Amino acid sequence: MLKLIQTKILLAILAALAVLASAAIYQQYEAHKAAVLRDQQQQRDEQFRRQVEQNKRQHNSAAGKEGNIWRSYVP
């Protein structure tokens, strides 16, 4: 009877350890997934920022040259 109780206690301890190990593995998996998503978001943000800067330079270039055109215009 004592051996049966010890076996049940041992199985319960092993089950608890298995639950703890699986929780730790899942937490690492979720942390890795979050890191990958964060990196992808940073890349998209950087690409968007570069595109905005490029558009800003493109649109401002015409306005910057406008004064030179009118200065050289002789009626």
For residue 74, give the DSSP letter: -
Q: How far apart are CA 27 and CA 39, in angstroms?
A: 18
Asked, for residue 74, whether it belongs to a domain, the answer is no
Domain that holds residue 31: 24-60
For residue 70, the model assigns a pLDDT of: 61
How many independent structural domains does the chain possess?
1
Asked, for residue 2, whether it belongs to a domain, the answer is no
Asked, for residue 45, whether it belongs to a domain, the answer is yes
Token couple for 69: 């055109």
Host H or E run for residue 70: helix 2-72
Cα 12 to the center of its chain, rounded Å: 39
Asked, for residue 11, whether it belongs to a domain, the answer is no
Asked, for residue 52, whether it belongs to a domain, the answer is yes
Return the C-alpha torsion angle 46, 50, 56, 58, nearest 10: -160
Asked, for residue 4, whether it belongs to a domain, the answer is no
What tens digit of pLDDT does each residue of 4-51 get? Answer: 899 999 999 999 999 999 999 999 999 999 999 999 999 999 999 999
